[in-house]
Amino acid sequence: MRIHGKETTCPCKSGVCGVKVVIPVVILTLVLILFTVACSKNPGNQQALAATTRTVPVAVAGVVRQDVPVYLIGLGSVNALNTVSVHSRVDGQLVDVRFREGQMVKEGDLLAVIDPRPYEVQLAQAQAQQYKDQAALKDAQLNYQRYRDLLQLSGAMSQQQVDTQKATADQLEGAVRTDQAAIDNAKLQLTYCHITAPISGRIGLRIIDPGNIVHAADANPLVVITQLQPIAAIFTLPEDSLPQVAQHMRQGTLSVDAYSRDDLTKLATGKLLTIDNLIDQTTGTGRLKAVFENKDGSLWPNQFVNIRLLLDTRKNSLVIPSVAVQTGPQGTFVYAVKPDKTVEARPVTVALTEGTLAAISSGLNPGDQVVTDGQDKLQNGAHVEPRSSTRQANPVAVKPAS
């Protein structure tokens, strides 16, 4: 028989001894193969062993105590507080335009002039008619005085003639008053020839040029003025949040922040003005209106913004970066770094979370260190090499955790 590549001869000449030698070698080889396969199919044991023996580099951040603002977040649209389409109130030729497109104007500034000459003529006619009627009134009043004196002194004048003359004087007085009304109307038309800004705001694009004939009945305005300072924003919140907002409004003015569409840039800070008087049943939301001073002109009408309504402020809350919070079968937990540079999975209760922050109500103490990066390589008792994390607990907008 052949063992390990060598030809051997069984001493007993029957081959039985050779069989006895081969069987233990085969069994030993099979045991080694099975052990190798078993080890290769259970990498968790190897990883667990490696995790407890080797040092894992991780990023850590400290647990800090600070005031945490509680925000309600909604999507909104900026609306001008007032928008005025300026029309002519008289008919005539537009002879002068005193504004520039995009100009900021104040209430009462002269915007345009319509040819006033036709209305100056009307004023002169009304004044002339009044002068004529005043002369007739003066004559009628003198005659009335004469007739009354004759009636009282000599009886040479009848009572009927005196009464008729008084009625004539009264009619002429009414004509004079009518003339005065015509004069006032002509002056008003002259005033309308000088078009002024009804509000303070920003001029839009010019719609009509000098030389055109304008009418009071024209559908298109001469210009549109939009009030940008202050400016308003309409946003929505879930109907379940409205009672909380109304309750806090009774306690004082609520602050509102407007952010850009990417929710990264703060555009303006204002205050909540009011809550709409109905709820949209199709969306289950209510509309709210906020007002911003907008002194730097960062908000524009019809601009989409993210609104953060400051509802409350939690005093002295424990805050950590939200990336430190992990979720497992037993709930939320963090890896806390102990003084001996080992970690433990510590259950925590998250009270508030939003963006890069999480406020912890239980499970941590001020000064504790939590792992913010590298948690996938950790387990209880693992040795770590901490490094400072760039994610620190800075005050940002937060909302109640769901």
Across the range 45-55, mean pLDDT stands at 56
**What residue spans of 111-211 are helical by DSSP H?**
117-153, 159-192
Closest Cα to residue 123, out of 182, 191, 192, 194?
A: 182
- In this prediction, residue 25 carries a pLDDT of 59
- In this prediction, residue 40 carries a pLDDT of 52
- In this prediction, residue 380 carries a pLDDT of 85
The model's pLDDT over 319-339, given as tens digits with 9 standing for 90+, comes to 999 899 998 888 899 999 998
Q: Per-residue pLDDT for 175 more than 80? A: yes
Q: Per-residue pLDDT for 13 more than 50? A: no
Closest Cα to residue 240, out of 67, 68, 78, 74?
A: 74
pTM exceeding the 0.85 threshold for the entire prediction: no
- In this prediction, residue 390 carries a pLDDT of 57
- Other C-beta atoms closer than 10 Å to the C-beta of 318 total 22
Tokens of 69: 């603002």
Please tell me the distance from the alpha carbon of residue 162 to that of residue 147, in angstroms, as a whole number: 6
Please tell me the distance from the alpha carbon of residue 243 to that of residue 48, in angstroms, as a whole number: 52
- Other C-beta atoms closer than 10 Å to the C-beta of 186 total 19
Please tell me the distance from the alpha carbon of residue 379 to that of residue 62, in angstroms, as a whole number: 20
- Other C-beta atoms closer than 10 Å to the C-beta of 367 total 9
Please tell me the distance from the alpha carbon of residue 73 to that of residue 256, in angstroms, as a whole number: 10
- In this prediction, residue 49 carries a pLDDT of 47
Please tell me the distance from the alpha carbon of residue 293 to that of residue 269, in angstroms, as a whole number: 8
The model's pLDDT over 64-73, given as tens digits with 9 standing for 90+, comes to 888 888 889 9
Q: Angle at the Cα of 67 (from 64 to 69), degrees rounded to 5?
A: 125
CA 22 vs CA 4, 19, 34, 251: distances in Å: 9, 5, 19, 94
Please tell me the distance from the alpha carbon of residue 126 to that of residue 120, in angstroms, as a whole number: 10
pLDDT cut 70: percent of the chain above it: 83
The model's pLDDT over 302-311, given as tens digits with 9 standing for 90+, comes to 999 999 999 8
- In this prediction, residue 267 carries a pLDDT of 94
| Cβ 335 vs Cβ 351: under 8 Å | no
Across the range 203-213, mean pLDDT stands at 89
